[in-house]
Amino acid sequence: MFLKEIQMENFKSFGRKISVPFLQGYTSITGPNGSGKSNIADAILFVLGPKSAKAIRAGKLTDLIWNGGKDKNAADSCQVSLIFDNSDRQIPLEADEVKLTRYIGVSPSVDGGYNSYFYINDRKSSLSEFDSLLAHARISAEGYNLVQQGDIQRIVSMSSVERRRILDNIAGITKFDDDINQAEGKRKETEENLDRIRIILDEIDKQIKQLESDRDGALKYRDLNERLTTAKAQLAYKNRELIERQIVGTREQIAKHEGDKAKLAAQKEELRGRLDAAVARLSELEQEMADRGGEEAKQLKDKLDGLRIERARAADGIETSKETLKQLRTENADATKEKGKVQKETDALARERENVDKRVTELDGQIKAADKDLHEVDELASKSDAKVLNIQKQIIALNNEIDQVEEKVKGLVLEGDRTKEAMTRLESEIALLEESRKQYQVEHEDADWQLKELHSSTKESGKSLEKLQEDFHSRRAEETRLAKEQAELQTAILSLTRQYAQLKAEADVAENMKRGYTSAVSAILECRETGSIKGIHGTVAQLAHVETQYETAIVTAAGARMQAIIVDDDTVAAQCIDYLKKRKVG
């Protein structure tokens, strides 16, 4: 390796671009004083990077720029390039020639008033890369492979220690010592960094354990929540199936009652025809009685009076039964109002029952009309004594027919009541009430013959009805209470879940504090109070300010990290870590 060429531009006295070639062997540059011979040596030192501008005979680096000479047309930059032959690869670059260039340009806007750049083979580089490259080639601006004026005299007069340093520098030992010192510094820095990393890893391990615990709790909560959701869905599905079955049953009952309604309408038409026939028969009997008259008519009148009394008693029993039925119907309507699901069907049956009652009223009117006709027959019978016995037989037959009509009317009433019972049986809460009512309807079939038993049965049914109503209202109140308790229990479950999460987070914080957080945090906060370590602000718990409604969420999510210390930067954090290590407090 040797210096092959120097290229200078606007450097000191060289106001233009100049190239100075060097051949192998010795090259001598001669000339008068002031011709610029020393400036060539200064150019070499300028590229190699002297420690000060005085080494190249300049007050400052900008003094190296061409000042313009007599014309005073000064340049604003200068550069020097050293071209080395690197065939032996002494310079650690894969190139036969290595070009090292340094550039200085005036720049008032920066500190010092200039910019300095380095280039290796026309590639921008740095001073440290320059020094490393030259050190491997054992070339230095302070080295003694460049002998300047006065260097020999200074070597002769220096001490043995200084002379040893020169030899070490020439041999490259100084570079190795610098590398060793630099490596030692890096080793210490690395060890300190490793200590910090170990502390950080320990902290991370603790946080990982805390996070694993939080994760397990969250997974357990999610599993319980999913099970709760599944249970709610199953309950809703069961309720839906129950309601669907009730709807199907209601529709079947409606269809059945529609059929019963059609049968009742047919029976009503049949009874209407038979009633018309009975009225026609009465007219015929009246005519016969008018034709016959006599003493027998008086006897017939007495018997008719007895029949009327019996019929009046039966009518009174019917009225009493109607009043009882009306009361039951009113009470049943009240129960129906509380169960809105079958309101329309119940109203339809109530209207049908009213039609039956109207029909009963019409039949009662017809009975009264028949009584009136019989009264007229009695008057006619008093005038005629002939054929009384025959007429009496016919009247008895007519009364029997009337009784049959009344029995049919009673059958219609009972049929309507049974229809009403079939609808109300859909409601499970009044099942016992319907059973009592059904029993009362059975007793009502004998009301025409046993009026006293009917009254007793009515009273017993009334008491049973009141008891069933009380039981019904009690069950409804119990159902409402249970529904309310269920809602309160669900609210309590949610509240307890939140309390559990909060208490668990607080317990975790307390557990971590038992492991050493309290002493460590207290020690660091004490340093903040005393001012021994600057840049400490406090813990997250001290500095964080959140609304009350979010406190539980913050405590649960942060956990032990609420005890973390907030500092200005990594330097303060390193001081805190060293402080804790030295005192073994955390």
Each of the 586 residues of the chain gets a pLDDT tens digit; together they read: 888 999 999 888 888 888 999 888 888 888 888 778 888 888 888 888 765 555 566 667 788 888 887 777 888 899 999 999 999 888 888 999 999 999 999 887 877 788 889 999 999 998 888 888 887 887 765 654 666 666 677 777 888 887 787 777 666 677 677 778 888 888 888 888 888 888 888 888 888 888 888 888 888 888 888 888 888 888 888 888 888 888 888 888 778 877 877 787 787 777 777 777 766 776 676 666 666 655 555 565 566 556 556 656 655 655 665 565 566 566 556 655 655 655 565 565 556 556 655 655 665 665 566 556 555 545 554 544 444 455 556 556 555 655 665 565 565 556 555 555 645 554 554 555 456 555 555 555 554 445 444 444 445 445 555 665 566 566 667 666 766 766 676 676 666 666 656 655 555 555 554 444 567 888 888 888 888 888 998 888 788 877 777 776 776 677 667 788 889 988 888 888 888 888 877 6
Here the tokens at position 345 are 């069907």
C-alpha dihedral (330, 335, 341, 344), degrees to nearest 10: 0
Architecture per CATH, domain 2-140, reads as: 3-Layer(aba) Sandwich (3.40)
Same fold, 2-140 and 503-583: no
Give the separation between CA 150 and CA 156, rounded to whole angstroms: 10
What stretch of H or E contains 452?
Answer: helix 451-512
Residue 482 vs residues 430, 478, 488: alpha-carbon distances, Å: 19, 6, 10
**Domain limits, the chain:** 2-140, 249-463, 503-583
User: Which residue(s) pair with 119 in the sheet?
Assistant: 101, 124
Q: What is the pLDDT of residues 293-334, one digit of tens each?
A: 555 555 655 665 565 566 566 556 556 655 655 665 665 566
Give the separation between CA 584 and CA 516, rounded to whole angstroms: 10
Sign of CA dihedral 544, 545, 548, 549: negative
Residue 269 vs residues 255, 276, 348, 353: alpha-carbon distances, Å: 22, 11, 20, 16
According to DSSP, residue 14 is labeled E
> Cα angle vertex 465, ends 459, 469, to 5°?
150
User: Which residue(s) pair with 458 in the sheet?
Assistant: none
Q: Which of 24, 196, 229, 232 is nearest to 571 (CA)?
A: 196
**Phi and psi angles of residue 585, each rounded to the nearest 5 degrees, phi first:** -110, 5
Sign of CA dihedral 101, 106, 108, 111: positive
Q: What's the start-to-end Cα distance of the chain, in Å?
A: 60
Give the separation between CA 40 and CA 57, rounded to whole angstroms: 12
Are the CB atoms for 525 and 541 separated by under 8 Å?
no
Looking at 3.40.1280.10, 1.20.1060.20, 3.40.1710.10, 3.30.1330.10, the CATH number of the domain 503-583 comes to 1.20.1060.20
**If you compute the radius of gyration of the chain from its CA atoms, what whole number of angstroms results?**
63
Write the CB contacts of 242 (distance below 8 Å, at least 6 apart in sequence): none
Q: What is the pLDDT of residues 260-281, one digit of tens each?
A: 777 877 877 777 777 777 667 7
